[in-house]
Every structure is written in structure tokens, then in C-alpha cells.
Structure 1
Amino acid sequence: MKKAIVWFIFAILLLSGNTVQKTVLEDVQLVSIYGYDYVNKNTVKGIISSPVIPLVENTPPKTEVFAAKAHTSKNTRQKLQGESPEPMVLGRLEALLYSKEIAKRGIFPMVTTMSQDPSLGRNVNLAIVDGSVEKMLDKEYPVSETPAEYVQDLLKHNSKDILPSYMTLHTFMDFYHDVGQDPILPLLVQKKDRIRIKGLALFDGDKYKGYIPYADCFVFKILNESFNNGMYEFKVDGHYLTIENLASKVEKDFKNGNSPKMVINIRLTGKITDAPGMELTNKQIKVIEDDLSHTVSKKGKSLVSKFQDMDVDPLGLVVRAGSQERHLNKKEWESKYYRTLPVEVKVHTEITQSGTIQ
């Protein structure tokens, strides 16, 4: 009898605990995206996107957007709290968005404020918006239930195949403070009822300097990091073909002799899965390997030249030189030699097998 009473009390407490948790969640305003728009040199607009869970079952969630102007990014949060019917909670924040106009003036103070919030996880994505953050968030998109879900899914799946794998709040802070490599972030743009990745935003420190288009992002990824399971389409002898399961291994080697230079060695492996109208003989595969090596090398050199002309270093070439030659003054190298440093991009490609060819 006593055991039955104990188990009965335990069950009541357990159910009560669940009810309390549910009530707490219903009594807060969960923020899924926090964004900032530029107003003028003294004013910034903070925007939050918050999901509204409907009371009726099997009804998709809606989004409520709040916006407030203030002189500092931190004060926008206080003003937004004044408009929200419930206390705002950032514990489930998925992305931070900054307009390009704000990024031109530097986003470090705003990013720092967010990074100091202990409730935020390490995987909050950062992105730049070419246009108005408020207009992007205050819209319904037929391809996704909420703008927050749309942005998060867009960044997540592209980081596997196209975009660099590090674009979070904490990696941005690490790059800015410790790594010495200029940060890069996705550049988003709204086109009617779609959100698209326009390219990669390039930074000098925390200031936006320009971007590389989406079509060049994969080659940048090849230059920047080793990865597996990529896909690339290019043209050979008038035919388009697709290489999948593309793996890249990259090494940066600084040669400090009478004529210092940086050599970026890239090894690509993959298989051809689609090559309409092409007969894939051993000779033709060798032509494809050479052509892909030439294409990536040429585009890679073009990107490096662009970075040097803009005086941005998203590949961390100065850091690499400094890690090999300890006596080098990295700040001096960055200011005096980076823009004129000769850079070679050497690519070796191996087609390991071919798939079904139409």
C-alpha cells in the first residue's frame, strides 16, 4: 500500500513538472532570428522574428516580427522587450543578420554584445543581407513555414557543399581576435518570394569590403579547406559534365627565399556522374582531369588576385607565412607585402571512376 502511495505521488510530481515547463514556454517570446538595419550614423534598427505557435492542432506556425530603433544595438533589445507581450528569450536563436550598410561600418560591437550572452549556443549562424533585414523577415515564403527556418536550412545545406563550414557567432569572434584571418559570411538577398545566397561577403577586420558571387563560392571552398562530397559542373570540348563525390585536400606552403611566394597545392578526386554526348575513354578522362585542374587553378588565381587588390585575406595566407617563418612580423607583412605576394595555385585532379553516363 505504501509503495502504491509513493508511486502515485511520484506520478503527480512528474506530471506537475511537465505542466510547469509547458507553462513557462508559453509565457515567453522565443526569438529565432535577430537582425539589424542601418538607419543613420547615430541610429540602428533591431528586428526580431519570433514563431507564434497556433492553439489549433495541425496548423502551421506563424511569425511575428518586432522592430525598434535605438542609438546602440544593446538598447534595441530593451526597446523590443517593451513591445513584446512576453519576455524575449534568445536561447533558441538560430541566426544573426546584419544589413550590408551596417556591415560597411563594422559589426564587431554588435557581434561582441551577442557573444557575451550566456544563453546563446555556439552554432548561431551569421549572415549579411543585401537589402533590408526587416523586409526579408516580415514576409511569408511558400517554400518554408517561417523565415527563420528558411534561412537556417539554406545556410545549413549550402555549408556542406558550397559555402565554408565555419560561419557561426563564435568562429567569427575567434577569427577576429585570434586566427588573424579575415572573416567571411554568407551574403543573402531577397528576390520576390525567395531568399537566395548571393555570394560570400568579404571583410577587412569587421568591415564589409565586397563579395564573391555564388558561382565562385565552390572554388573558394577548394582553396580554403579540405572537404568531401562536393559537386562541380564545368564545360569540356563544348560539353557540360558533372563531377560528384568531389574531395579536396589543400595545403598552403610559404617559400621564403630570394623571391618569397605562396604555393597553394590542391588535390581533387571525384567521379563523373553526368556527361551527355561524351564518350569517356581513358584518353578523354585524362583531358577532363587536365581541364578541371586548369579551370580551378585559373579561377583560384583570379580570386586570390581579387583578394589582394581589395587588401583582404580570407584564405589566411599571411597567417600561414607567419606560422612557417616565426621571425616574420605578420602585421608588417600584411601592410607591406601581402598585396604583392606572388601566389601559385597548383591543382592535381584524379577521376577515380565514372557513374552512369547519358
Structure 2
Amino acid sequence: MELRTTFLFIVLITLMTACGNQKIVNSIKLVQTVGYDAVENGVRNAALIANYEEGKSKLEFFVTESNTIYDSSPRLRTKLDFPNEYGQVRMTLFGETYARKGIKIVTDTMMRHPVISSRMHLGVADRDALEILNVTENKRDPYFLFDMIENNIRNGNLPMTNLHVTVFNFYGEGRDVFLPYFTVERGEIKIDGLALFKGDQFKTKISIRDAFLLKMLLGNSKNGSVMVPVKGPKQERGDYFLMNSIGSKSRLKVISVGPPASVSIQLKVDASVRDVPEWMDLTSEDQLASLEKRMEDYFENEIQNLISFCKRNNVDPVGFGDLIRSRSYQWEARDFEDHYEALKTTVSVKVIIVQTGAGQ
């Protein structure tokens, strides 16, 4: 009896597998990067598609316009000789004008799409997305922007971000969205910082240096770097040295729920330094301690400046509102926004130089 049951089970599994919806890669069009721009009569949608033929991939570029994004896929289909599939979409880029009007429709649509990964990246261009994607097309790589973001999250100054993080920040109370901000410099695409949102609308941007500060506040800033100013005892003009973060830990603590609220920020950074001025001797314990103190003062001041900038622009990428909400039973989003600019923060940074380079 058990043998018959096992045999029947195997047969059913085989039949179910055979009836699966199989799709051959050279018989479909895999949309891999998309862009959205605001135009006079609605939205312009650009799509980068890898066309696989005879073991080779060819990059194709298609542009459609419609009154709404819901019509983008059907309009794209009218230009294709095979079905268009979205299971390999890894990047969505918004033109600045479109992002200022709101990205909620696009992000919600993508989160509901059963085959689109929540690890997909999103970004904002300082111009039309179409212009950035035209440069991307010349790279012959449909994942070029996606790989840029991944590289700068792992090895650079970008904090963790993807579709899942973006939707969490958008729908989470007391948090605001941030996305990589792209520009073109001398014909090359460049990540120029972070776009900061209020709700689903692009509000302002911060530099790639400030993106590193935000990365430290949000968690581990491993591999981020920044140029730190330093001045010698007899110098009129200052020098700079390169500081690399080996790792960091941040602790945000609510001192008072207010209003106005008060938050204490404690940051510990393990760092390496490179390219220090010639007058600096890192074999000297006194100069090493002085350099650590200089970095501590620098980061405390710069983090306060970043927080002040965010408060002036009424954006909260750090998630102070969410932090305070977790400590208050009477927290209201409107009340927090009304008193956000009066938020008090104290910043304490401890820097430990653990590497100074082989040359030192």
C-alpha cells in the first residue's frame, strides 16, 4: 500500500512539473532596466532589453509614452516581436521632474508584481531618466546602474537601499525615503549623492560625503571613505587626508519624547588613514591621538550639520520620528513634523585608528 502511494505521488509531481509554464530565453524579451519621465501628456517609459540570440546578447532600447504607467507595458508590447517579461528587472530610474511629482504609483505597482524582486534598485536622475539610460545603452550592459549601486553600497558611501527598503521607509511612520542620485560628468554616469524624499516626492539632495554620514547613522559604514581636513601647528592653509571606515556602530537613544524631542547619538568608528600630509608622523602616539581627536570633532560637527539640513527641509532619512514613536504611546506624525525642526540632538563620536597603511 505504501509503495503504491509513493508511486502515485511521484507520478503527480512529474505531471505537475511537466505542466509548468516554461519560457525559452530567446523567445521572450527580458526587460532589465526601466526609466520614467514626466512629459506634457503623461509619462514616458524607457526600457533596456537584452535580446538573446544564438548564444549572444544584444542590448535593445525602447521608448513609449502614455497617459499613465499602467499603459506602459501594453504600449511596449506593440513594438516587440516576442512577449515582454519583467522577472529580470533590476533597476528603475526616475527623471527628476517625475520624481518631484511622486513615485508611489511605480513603487506600489512593482511591489505587487509577482515576479519583480524586492532587491531591485531605484534611483533619481538630475535630468530626464532617458538621458542617463542613453549613456547606459553605450555600456552594452543592462545592469550597469544596478551594479554601480551595489558596488557603492558594499565598497563605498551609499547606505543600504533597494525596493524593499524604499517601501518600508515610505509606509513606515516617522521615516522618509532616500535613493541614489545620478548625474553625468564628462560623458560618464556618476552617483552624485542621495535624493531625499518627503512622502513619495523628491524634495532635496545631499552629497556623496553626506551619504557616508547617513550610512554611519543607519548602521555599519564598512568601506566608506571621506576626505578630512587637518591643519598643522604652523600652517595657514589646511591639508586633507583620506579616512576609510573599516566598520562602525551607532546607537541612537531617546532622551525625551518632547515636544521638542531630544535624541543622543553615539557613534564608534574603526578607521584607517591614507595619504596624510608629509608633516604628520603616524608613528607618534601623540600625533595619532591628535588625528583621532580631529576626526571625532569633524564627524560630530558634520553630522550635526546634516541633521540641521534635514530638519530645515523637513525630511527624516535617519528615522528620528520612528525612533521617538517607539518610545511614546501618544506619538502623532503631524505633531512630530510640527516640532521636527526643534528636535535636539547631541552627537558623540569615538574614532579608533586601527590601520595607517603599510607605508607608515
Normalized against structure 1, the TM-score is what?
Answer: 0.86
**One-letter code of the match for 1:240?**
Y
Residue number in structure 2 paired with 1:31: 31
CA contact under 8 A between 1:251 and 1:264: conserved in structure 2? yes
2:285 to 251, 269, 282: 282
CA contact under 8 A between 1:265 and 1:345: conserved in structure 2? yes
CA contact under 8 A between 1:274 and 1:356: conserved in structure 2? no
Residue number in structure 1 paired with 2:90: 94
Residue number in structure 2 paired with 1:244: 244
Residues 181-205 of structure 1: CA deviation (Å, up to 9, x unaligned): 1010001123353111121000001
Q: Distance in 2 between matches of 1:26 and 1:179?
A: 45
Residue number in structure 2 paired with 1:180: 174
CA contact under 8 A between 2:257 and 2:324: conserved in structure 1? no
81-90 vs 233-242, which deviates more? Answer: 233-242
Residue number in structure 1 paired with 2:76: 80
**One-letter code of the match for 2:153?**
S
Return the offset for 1:44.
0.5
1:214 to 204, 208, 220: 208
194-203 vs 256-265, which deviates more? Answer: 256-265
Q: How many residues align?
A: 332
Q: Distance in 2 between matches of 1:322 and 1:343?
A: 16
* 1:163 equivalent in alignment to 2:158: yes
Q: Distance in 2 between matches of 1:209 and 1:140?
A: 25
Helix, strand or coil at the partner of 1:301: helix
2:304 to 301, 304, 308: 301
Q: Distance in 2 between matches of 1:174 and 1:34?
A: 22
**One-letter code of the match for 2:329?**
H
Return the offset for 1:355.
2.3
Helix, strand or coil at the partner of 1:350: strand
Q: Distance in 2 between matches of 1:156 and 1:271?
A: 23
Q: Distance in 1 between matches of 2:248 and 2:263?
A: 19
Q: Distance in 1 between matches of 2:118 and 2:26?
A: 25
Residues 3-36 of structure 1: CA deviation (Å, up to 9, x unaligned): xxxxxxxxxxxxxx9xx97x71111000110111
129-138 vs 282-291, which deviates more? Answer: 129-138
Inter-CA distance 140–105: structure 2 relative to 1 (3 Å threshold)? closer
Normalized against structure 2, the TM-score is what?
Answer: 0.85
Inter-CA distance 127–140: structure 2 relative to 1 (3 Å threshold)? closer
Q: Distance in 2 between matches of 1:30 and 1:233?
A: 41
Q: Distance in 1 between matches of 2:35 and 2:130?
A: 8
Helix, strand or coil at the partner of 2:214: helix
2:336 to 334, 337, 342: 334
5+ residue gaps, structure 2, are: 1-17, 232-237
Helix, strand or coil at the partner of 2:117: coil
5+ residue gaps, structure 1, are: 1-16
Return the offset for 1:179.
5.0
CA contact under 8 A between 1:267 and 1:348: conserved in structure 2? yes
Helix, strand or coil at the partner of 1:131: coil
Residue number in structure 1 paired with 2:43: 44
Within 5 Å, which residues of 2 pair with 1:190-201?
190-201=184-195
CA contact under 8 A between 1:94 and 1:124: conserved in structure 2? yes
Q: Distance in 1 between matches of 2:136 and 2:198?
A: 34
Return the offset for 1:231.
3.0
Inter-CA distance 140–354: structure 2 relative to 1 (3 Å threshold)? closer
337-346 vs 218-227, which deviates more? Answer: 218-227
Residue number in structure 1 paired with 2:317: 314
**One-letter code of the match for 2:25?**
L
Q: Distance in 1 between matches of 2:151 and 2:172?
A: 28
**One-letter code of the match for 1:151?**
L
Return the offset for 1:140.
5.7
* 1:291 equivalent in alignment to 2:298: no
Inter-CA distance 64–156: structure 2 relative to 1 (3 Å threshold)? same
Helix, strand or coil at the partner of 1:162: coil
Residue number in structure 2 paired with 1:3: none
Helix, strand or coil at the partner of 1:74: helix
Return the offset for 1:149.
2.5
**One-letter code of the match for 2:342?**
T
Q: Distance in 1 between matches of 2:229 and 2:324?
A: 35
Helix, strand or coil at the partner of 1:32: strand
Inter-CA distance 71–27: structure 2 relative to 1 (3 Å threshold)? same
Q: Distance in 2 between matches of 1:32 and 1:353?
A: 41
Return the offset for 1:103.
0.9
Return the offset for 1:84.
1.5
304-313 vs 342-351, which deviates more? Answer: 342-351
**One-letter code of the match for 1:44?**
V
Helix, strand or coil at the partner of 1:163: coil
Return the offset for 1:303.
0.8
Residue number in structure 2 paired with 1:204: 198
Residue number in structure 1 paired with 2:235: none
Q: Distance in 2 between matches of 1:243 and 1:224?
A: 19
**One-letter code of the match for 2:264?**
V
**One-letter code of the match for 2:146?**
Q
Residues 33-86 of structure 1: CA deviation (Å, up to 9, x unaligned): 01111103x41111110123354x6x6x43211111111111111111111121
